[in-house]
Amino acid sequence: MKKLLFVLLAAAVLGGMGLLPFRSVDAAKLLPVKTVIVTKSGDEYVVDIGAGVQAVGRTLREALDCLREEVTGEVFLPTAEQVIVTDAAEDAVEAVAEETSFRPAAGIYRTPDRHLDVEAVGAYLDSHTSNMTILDVRAALALGQTPAIPVIRAADGGFRVDG
């Protein structure tokens, strides 16, 4: 009983000082993300989450941090169902795989198209589950293998997934 009381008291003190690893977020301010497109413009990464919301950074991490800072509300990346990496940002695949903000079960795709409509491609991919997830890419990279990431292309007013 004394141990439980001590733990609760310690949690209350740490919580009051803001030192607990948990933080509260107003659910009304959450901005759930469905689809993320990572591309590159010059030497900078561009992260597009749709609705005209983009962020730029020298690294993927910097672009995601910029996204969180500049957007009103709390950008919630763990809801992303798919992450699409353009061929221009092919070197970001490893960074996407290592990024802890993304769900390991999120589908991952590559695309040669530099300008995909985030909402349209997200709607298409809702009915086409990925055979490659971020977790699969992490595993392949850990084994020193090159992951066979499916390619999504704009085709005939819609989209097509190869691979």
DSSP the chain: -HHHHHHHHHHHHHHHTT-SS-----GGGEEE--EEEEEEETTEEEEEEETTEEEEESSHHHHHHHHHHHSSSEEEGGG-SEEEEEGGGGGGHHHHHH-TTS-TTSEEEEES-S---HHHHHHHHHTS--S-BHHHHHHHHHTTPPP---EEEEETTEEEEE-
In the chain, domain spans: 30-162
What's the predicted TM-score (pTM) here?
0.81
> Is pLDDT above 60 for 18?
no
pLDDT of residue 24: 57
Q: Region 31-44: what's the mean pLDDT?
A: 91
Report pLDDT digits (tens) over 77-119. 899 999 999 998 888 999 999 999 999 999 999 999 888 899 9
